[in-house]
């Protein structure tokens, strides 16, 4: 990762709010989310299902259907371009070319009636203008780069003929085919077994570092980002609750929710017979519940009157370490 003090952010998102107007009422899925992503940096975004992490980056890609969705932000810029004001044509040029996304289920992302080769060629031809033998060579090179054996043969295969791990490798190859500036990986290992999950995460880390591509790994599993990211952003109920460099977050987590996620990671030295830790309660229903204070307060062992009455803002606790918690200074006692 480049020195952030010298480098300019490649992606700037400040004050992002994403609303949905639904039949049952209004829902604010993302609330005042702000972050910068630097060239070559790897950012982990962690939180339970429904916390707003995927919606945040679908908004960056302008893939939120409007209506029912509405995206507002103080700033949302990619390489100096205002993404909120960008035309549909400009966004089509950016998607898959300068910003690529790998989704969690490759079977639903790949077209089942088209060969892998045809699907790979389409994007490369559109964005890079390659054709003929040079186009095929590029596809073979990409499949080889992501560790797929016999790449020429795989180009003729259909998605159902490949394992889940190989399908996900194909998706990564397609996402990196145009040498994007940013790779967004949304739960890229959800449907895979544990050994394949580790291979895919290491593959994303190694390839993006080799190419100098900034990456965002979106996951519910804090353990997945331990050795693959430079910084981590923890989200809960549409807000960022903690943000820090990865080693610091694991060494000194200050938000009780982050601490709960860390305690939930299975350990090799877990005593036999001891149950895995789980955070009590459930996330709030953002469609039906009005949250006045901290959204995590009903589940938090440190919660006091102030936590229920007033929402804390995201404030620096230490250099490069931001926490949204009234009890951040006391949280180490319960870590």
Mean pLDDT of 168-174: 89
Contact between 29 and 18 under an 8 Å Cβ cutoff? The reply is: yes
Helix 132-145 to helix 164-175 angle (10° resolution) is 120
Look-up: residue for tokens 């702000």? 34
pLDDT at 224 over 60: yes
pLDDT at 192 over 80: no
For residue 95, the 8-state DSSP code is B
pLDDT at 198: 84
**Residue 22: band (very low, low, confident or very high) from pLDDT cuts 50, 70, 90:** confident
* Residues linked to residue 4 through DSSP beta bridges, in sequence order: none
More confident residue, 64 or 288: 64
Backbone angles phi, psi at 233, to 5 degrees: -120, 120
Mean pLDDT value across the chain: 88
pLDDT at 190 over 70: yes
Q: Which helix (H) or strand (E) holds 208?
A: helix 194-211
Contact between 287 and 281 under an 8 Å Cβ cutoff? The reply is: no
**Residue 125: band (very low, low, confident or very high) from pLDDT cuts 50, 70, 90:** confident
Q: Which of 3-12, 28-37, 270-279 has the highest mean pLDDT?
A: 28-37
**Residue 11: band (very low, low, confident or very high) from pLDDT cuts 50, 70, 90:** very high
Mean pLDDT of 147-165: 90
Lowest mean pLDDT among 24-28, 84-88, 214-218, 233-237: 24-28
More confident residue, 303 or 191: 303
Mean pLDDT of 132-151: 90
Look-up: residue for tokens 């591509």? 213
The closest alpha carbon to 305, from 320, 293, 322, belongs to 293
Question: Rounded to an integer, what distance in angstroms lies between the CA atom of residue 261 and that of residue 330?
Answer: 18
């Amino acid at each position: 990762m480049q020195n952030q003090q010298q480098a300019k952010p490649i992606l700037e998102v400040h004050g992002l709010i994403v609303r949905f107007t639904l039949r049952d009422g209004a829902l604010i899925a993302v609330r005042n989310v702000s972050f910068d992503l630097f060239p070559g940096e790897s950012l982990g975004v962690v939180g339970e299902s429904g916390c707003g992490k995927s919606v945040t980056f679908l908004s960056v890609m302008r893939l939120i259907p409007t209506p029912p969705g509405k995206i507002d932000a103080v700033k949302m810029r990619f390489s100096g371009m205002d993404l909120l004001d960008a035309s549909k044509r400009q966004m089509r040029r950016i998607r898959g070319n300068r910003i690529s996304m790998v989704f969690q289920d490759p079977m639903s992302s790949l077209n089942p009636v088209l060969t892998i080769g045809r699907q790979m060629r389409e994007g490369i031809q559109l964005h890079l203008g390659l054709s003929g033998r040079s186009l095929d060579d590029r596809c073979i090179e990409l499949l080889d780069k992501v560790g797929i054996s016999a790449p020429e043969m795989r180009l003729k295969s259909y998605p159902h003929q490949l394992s889940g791990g190989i399908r996900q490798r194909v998706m990564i190859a397609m996402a990196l085919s145009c040498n994007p500036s940013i790779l967004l990986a949304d739960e890229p290992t959800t449907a895979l077994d544990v050994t394949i999950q580790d291979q895919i995460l290491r593959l994303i880390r190694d390839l993006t570092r080799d190419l100098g591509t900034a990456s965002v790994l979106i996951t519910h599993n804090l353990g997945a980002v331990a050795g693959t990211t430079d910084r981590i952003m923890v989200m809960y109920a549409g807000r960022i609750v903690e943000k820090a460099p990865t080693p610091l977050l694991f060494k000194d987590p200050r938000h009780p929710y982050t601490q709960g996620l860390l305690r939930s990671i299975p350990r090799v030295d877990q005593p036999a017979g001891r149950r895995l830790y789980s955070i009590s309660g459930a996330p709030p229903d953002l469609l039906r519940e009005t949250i006045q204070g901290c959204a995590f307060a009903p589940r938090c062992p440190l919660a006091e009157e102030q936590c229920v009455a007033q929402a804390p803002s995201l404030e620096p606790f230490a250099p490069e370490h931001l926490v949204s918690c009234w009890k951040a200074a006391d949280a180490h006692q319960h870590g």
